[in-house]
Amino acid sequence: MQDTTTDFSHVKPGDTPYRGEGLRDFFQYRDLGIAAATHGKVIAHLVRAHSAPEKGTGWHRHEADFQIVIMLKGWAKFMYDDKETLVEAGDCVHQRPGLVHYLFDYSPDMEYLEIVGPADFKSIDAPAPCAVPAPTPWDTPADTQKVDRAA
């Protein structure tokens, strides 16, 4: 039996540019066409650093059934509940539904693949379970500005 609830999708790098319109203004997002192909069941996008971490994401949780982050380049530091976690290139993190977390630091070259279901998941502010370390300053004055990236 053929699945007719999803469509075939093939997105090449030049098909969808990185955009600043997303959950966080200090990141850029590249849509991979999965939300459209799955009719909203799942979203997959690439996320990359756009400017230096000043305050991070803040404590929050997602109303989602499934979420993974696969770090492609660089690194990011998260607080998951009260545990600091370094996520480096090659790492895969499954964020269980409702997990309270905070992305508070990342490298200028940070880029990750995020896959979430459903596509229209909600991000809900959450009370802080603990203090968060300060982000590491980027090395050069230019690094503290927006990262120069071709779309």
Fold of 27-126: Jelly Rolls (2.60.120)
Domain-wise residue ranges, the chain: 27-126
Please tell me the distance from the alpha carbon of residue 76 to that of residue 141, in angstroms, as a whole number.
20
Check residue 145 and give its pLDDT: 45
Closest by CA position to 132, among listed 101, 96, 91: 101
Mean pLDDT by 10 residues, the chain (151 residues): 78 92 87 96 96 88 97 96 96 96 95 97 94 82 47 48
Check residue 124 and give its pLDDT: 95
Check residue 4 and give its pLDDT: 65
Tokens coding 62: 């997602």
Check residue 142 and give its pLDDT: 42
